[in-house]
Amino acid sequence: MAKIDNMMAILWMLNTGRKITAKQISEKLEINIRTVYRYIDALSASGVPIISETGHNGGYTLLNNFIESPLLFDINEQTALLHAADFAKEAGYFLGEALDSATSKLKMYSNQEQERLVKQQLEGLEVISPIGKSSTEPILRELEQSIVNESSVEIEYRTSREEQAKRRIVDPYGIIYWNINWYVIAFCQLRNEIRSFRVGRIISIIQTEITFNRPKNFSASEFFMKNLLPKVEDKQKLIPLVLRGKTSALDDLCQHWFLGHHFKERTSKEVIFLLEEDAIHTYVPYLLLPYGKSIQVIEPISLKQKLIEVLYELIDFYQV
């Protein structure tokens, strides 16, 4: 049995609450008693509160509160979990109190050496969190509960094109976090189809007694991205979009949520995407404008003219 398996086995034996001797552990696991001592020392060094009693009735036990403590996380694992918690808070994670409780346990049950090392690593990375509490948190908690229970909810929702909110009953299938916004993918009983709803546009939410069955193997993220990107009717009609410019600007464009899905080829100074001509003229000019002179259009030539037209439209707008 591997070392980590033996250590976990010892931990569960100790966690029964009964006093156990090194001899009993060695016989149970069929390992040398000196190996048992080494494993006990390793567990203690990792922060496990093992009580050792010597003498005729001696043996090993655990502190009563260990059942609540995290199990055998090394320094890198603890640091990764605390970093992930910071990122979650920055995104407006809706179970923030539970997250704080979990991270506090990591710190509470660490020994002094672990605390020192974790603190050193945490000082090297910081995440700037948003100011104030997100108004979407209560709605996200209700949606998450609805997904778990497979129960429909009645929402009051306002689309980007409508000033007046509408009430509708939806069956939530999954929650998506994308581009600093939260979305719920749900079957809309009003429209009789699966749709994406931006959580920030949900004004109110009420749990219902209606239940539903979530489709098997349904992926909320796949549905979201499929509906976000323009459909390619004929791949033979795709044409190259060739851009030249600064490496940092090209890096940004390759990682862009839209262009990244159409990436074809890359060199240090040039990148090629494959898109339909209509998509190039409709979306790309507005993606390139913020980069100014750091990006140069090589192909298609028609995109250059489209960029000029967009710029003149902006000039006319601000001269009014």
Summarised one tens digit per residue, pLDDT across range 16-48 is 778 889 999 999 888 999 999 998 888 888 778
- pTM exceeds 0.75 for this model: no
Instruction: Give the ranges where the chain is alpha helix by DSSP (H).
Output: 3-14, 22-29, 33-45, 75-90, 96-108, 112-122, 137-149, 220-228, 247-254, 277-288, 301-319
Reading the block at residue 84, the tokens are 């992930």
What is the residue-wise DSSP string for 71-137? PS--HHHHHHHHHHHHHHHHTT-TTHHHHHHHHHHHHHT--HHHHHHHHHHHTT----PPSS--TTH
- Letter string b/e over residues 97-118, b meaning 16 or more CB atoms within 10 A of that residue's CB: eebeeebeebeebbeeebeebb
72 touches 42 (CB < 8 A):
no
Neighbour tally for 131: CB within 10 Å = 5
All CATH 2.30.30 domain ranges of the chain, comma separated, are 137-227
Which distant-in-sequence residues (6+ apart) come within 8 Å of 76 by Cβ? Answer: none
CB-count burial class (<10 Å; 0-12, 13-18, 19+) for 284: buried
Express each pLDDT in 50-94 by its tens digit.
888 887 788 998 876 565 555 556 677 778 888 888 888 877 788
Between CA 124 and CA 70 the distance in angstroms is 23
pLDDT of residue 294: 95
Determine phi and psi for 133, rounding to 5 degrees. -95, 135
Where, residue-wise, is CATH 3.30.70 in the chain? 235-319
Residue 273 pairs in a beta bridge with: 241, 263
pLDDT at 79: 80
The tokens for 143 are 């949606």
pLDDT of residue 68: 53
Task: Read off the tokens for 183.
Answer: 């979305």
Provide the pLDDT for residue 226: 87
> Sign of torsion, CA 187 192 193 199?
negative
Domain covering 137-227 in this structure, CATH number: 2.30.30
As annotated, the residues of the chain forming the CATH 1.10.10.10 domain(s) are 3-68
DSSP letter for 293, please.
G
Task: Tell me how long the chain is.
Answer: 320
The architecture (CATH level 2) of 235-319 comes to 2-Layer Sandwich (3.30)
Instruction: Please state whether the peptide bond connecting residue 230 to the residue before it is cis, i.e. omega within 30 degrees of 0.
Output: no
Distance, in Å, from the CA atom of 240 to the CA atom of 263, rounded to the nearest integer, reads 10
First to last CA, the chain: 79
CA angle 275, 281, 285 (to 5 degrees): 105
Distance CA 183, CA 202 (A): 10
The low-confidence residues of the chain, meaning pLDDT below 70, are 1-2, 64-74, 108-112, 114, 130-134
**Residue 274: its H or E element:** strand 270-276
Pick the CATH number of 3-68 from 1.10.10.10, 1.10.1740.10, 2.60.40.1940, 3.40.50.150: 1.10.10.10
